[in-house]
Chain A
């Protein structure tokens, strides 16, 4: 029986862990911060922290899998005219994803330590944590943890006598999936409609209020304390080639034990469902999985005996995305999944780019025909064509996120579409 590999969930898996500052410290928390900022061990320069993260091979856990250390090097090392910003993306609105909520709710200080280290590495003196507005309970939770840090002088001015000043602010979203896209998130943080910006300029050149900005996912930052404490080699040793470390996987759908599990990068996908998810519930057979949130293409059971990491899942024709594994049993209607998916994407499109705004509207109507058992071969091809026309033609990746899964439903399960033809 496969076991979890615990880096991030170590405290959470400890019985009776209180998740407050005292408990986190008792469990060895804020040692990495001490190592970097404190005088006892000589400290580390921001460049050294960035170098360590780069060497660890940590890739962004938000979905795109961009190397985190490399992203950090795009920022000005010595900000003069404009301040640098680190923004944490805790918007987590992708259907199927709940690992950041889980982590923040149950061990906020692990993330906060990573956030503080990240801010130090980027010479940022005011970091923002963007959390979706629906999750007020989570916002209160993180704000409380931040208050603890201010009280203990781990935030504010001259942290640990290092001369480094830092403020952290939790910013509530207000119900818009698109704000998980980093430039839409920046607009939202600036007090605007959350509409993605075209690039260039990239956020590292002109981000929050036009200042150099890096946006990182919650889980990504939560990995930083481990890397500092144990060295980048210890992190790089875990996982597969080019996909180092552990990962939080959100398993949901028709499994016996849905939840968040931590495994090494490259853990077998099938084992995730069977060993951790407990297999399909009710003794039913597995029909399909969606491996990386609603924006990843659906897969058949026969193609899931693969390592679960960014590169392997991509090779198998889908995406690891944010590690949201959705499992569906044999009674599931693929058309229903397609319908829910396109309704979601149509509802959440920001409406800026023509292909996405009109394409998701059109696709919603097309899928509706199948739901009403009025499909046809022609309509099936049209779904494929319209979805394909959105792909790659929009400002942000939302177009791909909506187009790719909609193409996949018909390509992977054509027989399911045919069941809904007009007879």
Chain B
């Protein structure tokens, strides 16, 4: 690999890479505002100026150069700490602040603001600009966004995203000189489904998400890496929480999956993850409030019996044993929000406990939901949102579950009334089948997190964890295995689905004692099968291809 020298330190670069890109890969930070790896380079903020003392041919360059736009060359020597470079960083940053309101105490970006961070590192700490600053007020620019124009530092990231990646170009640049404004035109409000990315891209607090404004100081947040569950793409996310409350979901860089982006559905998903006793639960989006399942229940002829987990499991065990001994027919229906680990244990329960292979899931046909506007060069963003609205269809398929097109197919596949029906998650929860299930099964056991038609009709209700509360893994539509971990703790009476399934196996005298999803994955990885060789630690935060499929 060719090499250049940054303050005498060798830095390898790939042909065509710019100085800043190569430095980034080498872990050397050069300050920048306008540069973003996912956007076209404009070199306009001038924060990344470096001194080039040798272009690789023995000659230096008289002017400082923007390192984001200058191609690296063999044996080039550059400096970001020379007097000239330091002075440029100091003065350019001073210019950035000339018209910035410095309203950090009330700014939602505070704590994760590039302008704050870079000013802290490179700024002078005092201001000599004692004239009135430019004032242009706040604007409602989108269904998801607010714009505080005074804070804008004109880096143009928003315009480039909206023009080159979304193609709607509704965020654009108008006017010129110090009146340059990045804004929507007139009273236009953005309606596309990638708005949140504009707030992420904004290096300051000019563009903010409505959901996030005035909710929490950024530095208080605990950041938990996770995977988005709103579709089969499996975008990498960070769950931002504080005191057991999730305030925000942001994209996490993964060049194989979502690059730097996340759709707004994925962001809104946090709303349903917060547990307030009796108030909301998964699936509790706007206008659809369903309570979180809090207590295990065993209902007998319409009456709920309260006995806590021990009481319910104790009462359930003889029923299971009876059916197993009589070789009665047992089936299971799981939705593909379930982790691989849960599906695996469910499969084990059916096969080993009841000798059944009637394990089904609702199959959602996956394809890109959106079509990119004509003429857009980079259509990647439009491939993100998939019509398969579950994160683990590929995992269910790898584990050999049978995908069914609809409830009617299930009726056919069951081949008559079964003794026990296990339901995991919320498959076809809006379909009448959930209400009619008693015509298909004598006993319905439901493992889920939110109250729905299943939890109402089931004979046994066993409350579980959401994907923000447990360990586990999903396989996305490109057969990448990705892991999740708890960001917040679950309601006191809920129990990890993995533990519950272990208990059911235990009721049938099968040895199964996994502490959480990590244990199960280790067992899965140790055995022959689609997950051979994998374990939770090895997946890392970037995921690994499904063995044999990748």
Contacts and interface: CB of A to CB of B under 8 A. Distances in A.
In the complex they form, whether A and B have CB atoms below 8 Å apart is answered with yes
Interface of A: 176, 193, 198, 200, 346-355, 357-362, 365, 382, 389, 392-395
B46 A393 contact: yes
B91 interface: yes
A395 B44 contact: yes
Among B44, B98, B129, find the residue whose CB has the most chain A CB atoms closer than 10 A: B44
Contact of A354 (B47, B69, B128): B47
Contacts of B33: 354
B26 interface: no
B177 A358 contact: no
B53 interface: no
A394 B153 CA distance: 16
B96 interface: yes
B426 interface: no
Among A200, A347, A360, A394, find the residue whose CB has the most chain B CB atoms closer than 10 A: A394
Contacts of A354: 33, 44-47, 92, 95-96, 153-154
B91 A393 contact: yes
B44 A358 contact: no
Given A350-B176, A351-B177, A382 B128 contact: yes
A188 to B, nearest CB: 12
Given A361-B99, A362-B129, A395-B43, 19 more contacts: A176-B176, A198-B42, A351-B178, A354-B33, A354-B47, A354-B96, A355-B95, A357-B178, A358-B99, A358-B178, A359-B98, A389-B94, A392-B64, A393-B46, A393-B64, A393-B92, A394-B46, A395-B44, A395-B66
Contacts of B154: 351, 354, 357
Among B33, B45, B177, find the residue whose CB has the most chain A CB atoms closer than 10 A: B177
26 contacts: A176-B176, A198-B43, A198-B66, A200-B71, A346-B177, A348-B177, A351-B154, A351-B179, A352-B42, A352-B44, A354-B47, A354-B96, A354-B153, A355-B46, A357-B178, A358-B98, A360-B178, A362-B131, A389-B91, A389-B92, A392-B62, A392-B63, A393-B46, A393-B92, A395-B44, A395-B46
A348 B154 CA distance: 17
B177 A357 contact: yes
Contacts of B49: 393
Dominant SS at the B interface?
loop
Nearest to A369: B131
B480 interface: no
B263 to A, nearest CB: 30
A358 B176 contact: no
A193 B176 contact: yes
A382 B177 CA distance: 21
A350 B174 CA distance: 11
* Those 7 A-B pairs whose CB atoms lie nearest each other, nearest first: A351-B180, A389-B91, A361-B178, A358-B95, A358-B98, A365-B131, A198-B43
Interface in B10-49: 33, 41-47, 49
Contacts of B46: 353-355, 393-395
Contacts of A348: 177
Contacts of A352: 42, 44, 180
Nearest to A368: B131
Contacts of B179: 351
A333 to B, nearest CB: 22
A392 B46 CA distance: 11
Among B62, B129, B153, find the residue whose CB has the most chain A CB atoms closer than 10 A: B129
B175 interface: yes
B345 interface: no
B43 to A, nearest CB: 4
Given A198-B43, A354-B47, A360 B177 contact: yes
Nearest to B69: A198
A351 B177 CA distance: 4
Contacts of A389: 91-92, 94-95
Contacts of A355: 46, 91-92, 95
Interface of B: 33, 41-47, 49, 62-64, 66, 69, 71, 88, 91-92, 94-96, 98-99, 128-129, 131, 134, 153-154, 173, 175-180
Contacts of B128: 382
Nearest to A200: B71
B49 to A, nearest CB: 6
B177 A362 contact: no
A106 to B, nearest CB: 33
A357 B91 contact: no
Given A198-B66, A358-B98, A362-B129, A349 B177 contact: yes
A361 B131 CA distance: 10
Given A354-B154, A393-B46, A395-B44, A349 B176 contact: yes
Contacts of A357: 95, 154, 177-178, 180
Contacts of B63: 392
Nearest to B134: A361
Nearest to A350: B176
A347 B177 contact: yes
Contact of A361 (B47, B98, B176): B98
Nearest to A349: B177
Contacts of A392: 62-64
Contacts of B62: 392
A266 to B, nearest CB: 25
Contacts of A395: 43-44, 46, 66
Contacts of A361: 98-99, 134, 177-178
A86 to B, nearest CB: 26
Contacts of A359: 95, 98
Contacts of B91: 355, 389, 393
A389 B94 CA distance: 10
Contacts of A350: 176-177
Among B91, B92, B95, B98, find the residue whose CB has the most chain A CB atoms closer than 10 A: B95
Contacts of B95: 354-355, 357-359, 362, 389
A354 B45 CA distance: 5
A346 B180 CA distance: 12
A198 B156 CA distance: 15
A31 B482 CA distance: 76
Given A354-B47, A358-B99, A394-B46, A346 B178 contact: yes
A75 B131 CA distance: 48
Contacts of A193: 173, 176
Among B33, B41, B49, B94, find the residue whose CB has the most chain A CB atoms closer than 10 A: B94
Contacts of B43: 198, 395
A347 B173 CA distance: 17
Contacts of B178: 346, 349, 351, 357-358, 360-361
A244 B63 CA distance: 28
Given A198-B69, A353-B44, A393 B99 contact: no
A312 B11 CA distance: 43
Nearest to A392: B63
Nearest to B88: A393
A360 to B, nearest CB: 7
B135 to A, nearest CB: 13
Contacts of A353: 44-46
Nearest to B129: A362
Contacts of B180: 351-352, 357
Nearest to B66: A198
Nearest to A198: B43
B88 to A, nearest CB: 6
B15 to A, nearest CB: 15
A361 B88 CA distance: 18
Contact of A358 (B47, B71, B96, B173): B96
B303 to A, nearest CB: 71
A211 B335 CA distance: 55
Contacts of A382: 128
Nearest to B33: A354
A359 B97 CA distance: 11
A350 B131 CA distance: 22
A187 to B, nearest CB: 12
A352 B69 CA distance: 15
Contacts of A362: 95, 98, 129, 131
